[in-house]
Structure 1
Amino acid sequence: MNEKNLLTLPDNLPVPEDDGACAHLEGLTMPSVTLESTSASHVNLGLEKDTVVVYFYPLIGRPDAPPMVGWNDIPGARGCTPQSCAFRDFHSELTDLGAKVYGVSAQPLTDQKEAVKRLHLPFELLNDSHFELTQALVLPTFQYESLRLIKRLTLVVKNGVIQKVFYPVFPPNENATDVLNWLRNRHA
């Protein structure tokens, strides 16, 4: 699998359907759960002030890893690299609107650190490999081979309360634009 394949989305990806798995989230207070970050610090999203954009993603692929057989057939699975790169590309616009960005995954922290470096992400990725935040929020997950992964969704949190839920997220490379437009409309 080469780098180019990770950055682009195939035309024939299955579209995820809204199964209602995130209908309970809007208006909830973020739980007090501390997660390890790619900057070797610990972050408790429940204590973050102001506006926080938290995108949950299944697994950022590595260019040196073998192809993930059947991955493209799972609705909503493919696209973590384009989604992360879009949040990178719109990071300054998001911060101009007062938003802080985090990505969260159950992917191993070493893989997350590699992705931050390789993709030049200007924000931290948080590790939820023990599913503490996922379980506290009752987020949807799925199985891929022996891995349990978090389904793709994005939360906009203000002063610890979930204001907006983007779920399902498709296509993932447009998620940052959708979040940015929602925040701009709120500021208008």
Structure 2
Amino acid sequence: MTVELGKPAPDFTLEANNGETITLSQLKGKNVVLYFYPKDMTPGCTTEACDFRDQHQEFNDVNAVILGISPDPVGRHQKFVEKYGLPFLLLADTDHMVAEAYDVWKLKKNFGKEYMGIERSTFIINKDGNVVKEWRKVQVKGHVEEALSYIRENQ
């Protein structure tokens, strides 16, 4: 399964940091900002999460739910949420099945080492459950504002 703009978003069910089980299709009727990030507590991921935190009310105002997904387990997500006061759910994709469905599980290189990991990406899913916008290889600076602007302009 791949992600296609204008087509239904690949559905999934994952456990959230608060112990709830979240199924994407149950969020129809709301805009969903689905962002994939590599790892809790790392500099870029912390900046991105805090940017979403700081704009959380603005996303609420446009009927948007923010969901963060990484391969980290639920317990680590909960520590991340508590440490930075994140007001949205983080979902544990420990077997990276959802990351693969959204084609963000990629071969990466860092300091000469190759490994599989998350390519930082964001998807906007509209109230009908269709993917309407995607950003891949996201640069953190200014990204959250760009995602919010997109939803405001395309409601």
Q: Once the 2 structures are TM-superposed, how far is the Cα of residue 34 of structure 1 from its aligned partner? A: 0.6
- Aligned partner of 1:168 among 134, 137, 141: 137
What secondary structure, in the 3-state scheme, does the structure 1 residue paired with 2:154 have? helix
Tell me, yes or no, if the aligned pair for 1:83 and 1:174 is still in contact at 8 Å: no
TM-score calculated relative to the size of structure 1: 0.72
Matched, 1:155 2:123: yes
Q: How many residues align?
A: 149
How far did residue 152 of structure 1 move?
Answer: 0.3
Residue in structure 2 matched with residue 37 of structure 1 by the alignment: 16
Give the CA deviation at 1:134.
Answer: 1.7
Kindly report the root-mean-square deviation, in angstroms, between the aligned alpha carbons of the 2 structures.
2.1
Q: What are the equivalent positions in structure 2 for 1:127-138 lying under 5 Å apart?
A: 127-138=92-103
Q: Report SS of the residue matched to 1:101.
A: strand
Kept in 1, the 8 Å contact 2:37–2:45? The answer is: yes
2:107 equivalent in structure 1: 142
The aligned residue for residue 145 of structure 2 is 177
Which structure 1 segments of 5+ residues have no match?
A: 1-21, 63-77
Identity of aligned residues (%): 29
> Which structure has the greater CA radius of gyration?
1
Cα distance between partner residues in 2 of 1:117 and 1:79: 18
Q: What's the offset of the Cα at 1:146?
A: 9.0
Secondary structure of 1:26's partner?
coil
Determine which structure has the larger strand proportion and give its number. Answer: 2
After the TM superposition, which parts of structure 1 deviate over 4 Å for at least 4 consecutive aligned residues? 143-147
* 2:35 counterpart letter in structure 1: Y
Whether 1:122 and 2:87 are equivalent positions in the alignment is yes
| Structure 2: segments with no counterpart, 5+ residues | none
Cα distance 1:151–1:52, how it changes in 2: closer, same or farther (>3 A)? same
AA aligned opposite 1:45: L
Per the alignment, residue 37 of structure 2 pairs with 57
